[in-house]
Amino acid sequence: HLELQQWESSSKTFFSKSKCVKPKVNLDLQKDNPKVVHAFDIEDLGDEAVYCRCWRSKKFPYCDGAHAKHNQETGDNVGPLIIKRKEA
């Protein structure tokens, strides 16, 4: 059972009450960039902008609805940030 003990020992690094200890949030986007920050000027916004916070959008930094599939597949509850003009 030596092999099994090694497996169990190393698995403690990965498992917790959730599936993993401290997982990444962004799995794929701009992995050559050490910190993905976006900045926009208020004056340049249209009537409504919907920004991705799940990091799964193909239109990142904008939302494409990918959070729905992500939430369904993982049991997560993330959603976008909406910046809009009143009465727009």
The residues of the shown chain that bind its own copies, judged by CB under 8 A, are: 1, 3-4, 7-8, 11, 14-15, 18-27, 30-31, 33-43, 45, 51-55, 61, 67, 70-71, 73-86
Closer residue to its own copies in complex, CB, 64/79: 79
Burial tier of 63 (Cβ tally within 10 Å: 0-12, 13-18, 19+)? buried
* Minimum distance of its own copies from residue 58's CB (angstroms): 16
Closest Cα partner for 61 from 22, 21, 33, 20? 33
What residues are annotated to the active site?
Answer: 35
* Minimum distance of its own copies from residue 64's CB (angstroms): 15
Structure-token pair, residue 62: 């904008």
Closer residue to its own copies in complex, CB, 19/58: 19
Kindly list the distances between the CA atom of residue 57 and the CA atoms of 2, 35, 54, 87, in Å, as whole numbers in the listed order: 44, 17, 7, 27
The amino acid at residue 57 is S
* Minimum distance of its own copies from residue 47's CB (angstroms): 9
